[in-house]
Amino acid sequence: MSQSVALSPEQKAKNATSRKFYQLIIRWHFICALIFTPLIIVVTVSGIIYLFEHEYENIVYQDLKFVEPGNQRLSAEQLLSNVNSEMTALKLSNMKTFEDPSRSVEMIMRPIMRKTKPAMSMEWAGGGPNKVPMDMNMNRERISVFINPYTGSILGSVNSSDRLMSFMKDLHGNLLTGKVGTKFVELSSCWAMVLTVTGLIMWWPRGKTKWMGTLIPRLNGNKRIFWRDLHAVPAFYFSFFIIFLIVTGLPWTDVWGTGFKSVQKSLNMNAPAGFHSHVLKSTPQNGIKRISINHVIETAKAEGYGDNLNVKVPRDKMDTFAIQRVSDDPALRPSMHFDQYSGSVLGKTEWDKVPLMAKAVTYGIKLHRGEYFGTANLMLVLITSLVLLLMAFSGLVLWLKRRPKGKIGEPKEPRNYAQTKGVIVATVGFALFMPLLGLSLVLYMILDLIYSSLPFRGLPYKLPKESY
């Protein structure tokens, strides 16, 4: 017959502090999930769909993107002349050429906004099947025009606003609400990291380690245990990848991204001159017209760039020509910038000249988009995203199963709990690393303090036995 071991006062105090800390973590995890799970679901689902941008568009726009290979390709200037004669209200922004002989040439056009026109006027770019409606909102519109590189015929055009993947990109990045939306996406991403960390603390085995429920989900237990394990165990295995996806997405955000760029610049670790064309300027010369796109392409090919190219044409008299080799590997994407009048090379970007921090961001973005090491990268991002959705759904089920009727059922705040140095340091660290998180955390603590003082505050939450 086993006898219970009497605990010392110090051990009892330690256990009480540990239990109160755990109660605090549960409360943070619950409230954070309740507020931000809907946003996390929207961002995750749109991101999953956007992962398959190329596959989707190759099917939907197959008649535009693919042609019957011919013997001789027309020059870039010939193709552009054909487009300009058909679509007089558009001007070229980018031209994409491909090594694949069955691929059409894609020209990304933007509307020519005429200041003499009334703001609400309408006009049509081009005629027949290729006409494109223009209005006052089209200054940011992009129209992809597809051209047969062998015949010069225009296959058709697609507005960026009509593309499903453009919609998903905006939904994923800003919830279709511009700058305001980016802040909410950033906030939900930051709190998703808090959810992951607090979830790991809750998952961490206490006492005697058990395989089942810790590393292996108990699928044959009761419904609560089933959903608990389905929520916690896959999250443990993919926690690193979830955090990685969050961190690699932060450079696109408004507050964190801007701050990060400032740090890069202060450390002299941002991309070198020539990596971004706006750093370099052309020198206008009287009586001299700008160089041809053919000159830019042929110069790049002589440098070994190949045929997978993205050419950016100047937007104004001071802008430059820029050309970049297109590749999934950032190390194989050199770029050059040309003075649009003299044709001289103003800057070259080779991968070995890019600072370490800029390289890390570039690789992170490619990995985030599932574009770096082929199908394996894509599948890893897809599975991680699906696990994130599983966590959201199973967490919702767990809440609904234990929620008292007519109540939120949030875990009660621990009483007389003095924050340990570790909790304080971790909280401050998160806040400093993610400013929006810090501001929202302060707001949360204020509101939580007010709510906890109300007579209808949350009901006590009974900790499951396997948690300790």
Please report, for the chain, the start and end positions of each structural domain, with discontinuous segments joined by +. Answer: 16-51+172-252+375-411+418-467, 70-149, 271-354
Cα→Cα distances 139→112, 180, 272, Å = 8, 20, 30
Task: Give per-residue pLDDT as tens, 2-33.
Answer: 455 566 777 766 666 677 777 778 888 888 88
The per-residue pLDDT for range 418-443, each reduced to its tens digit, is 556 666 777 777 777 888 888 887 78
* Range 271-354: architecture per CATH: Roll (3.10)
DSSP track, 176-224: TSHHHHHHHHHHHHHHHHHHHHHHHHHHS--SS--SBTTTB--TTS-HH
Provide the pLDDT for residue 445: 72
Query: Mean pLDDT across the chain, nearest whole number?
Result: 82
Helix (H) or strand (E) holding 309: strand 309-312
Phi, psi of 284 (to 5 degrees): -60, 140
Q: Region 236-253: what's the mean pLDDT?
A: 93
Task: Provide the 10 A C-beta neighbour count for residue 144.
Answer: 21
This prediction's pTM: 0.82
Q: Taking the CA atoms of 333, 336, 337 and 343 in sequence, report the sign of the dihedral they define.
A: negative
41 vs 38, 48, 320, 328, CA distance in Å? Answer: 5, 10, 41, 28
Residue 70's alpha-carbon distances to 74, 78, 157, 293, 414, in angstroms, are 10, 16, 22, 22, 74
Cα gap 24→413, rounded to integer Å: 6
SS3 label, residue 106: strand
Q: pLDDT for 81-136, tens place per residue?
A: 999 998 888 899 999 999 999 999 999 999 886 544 433 332 333 333 344 443 33
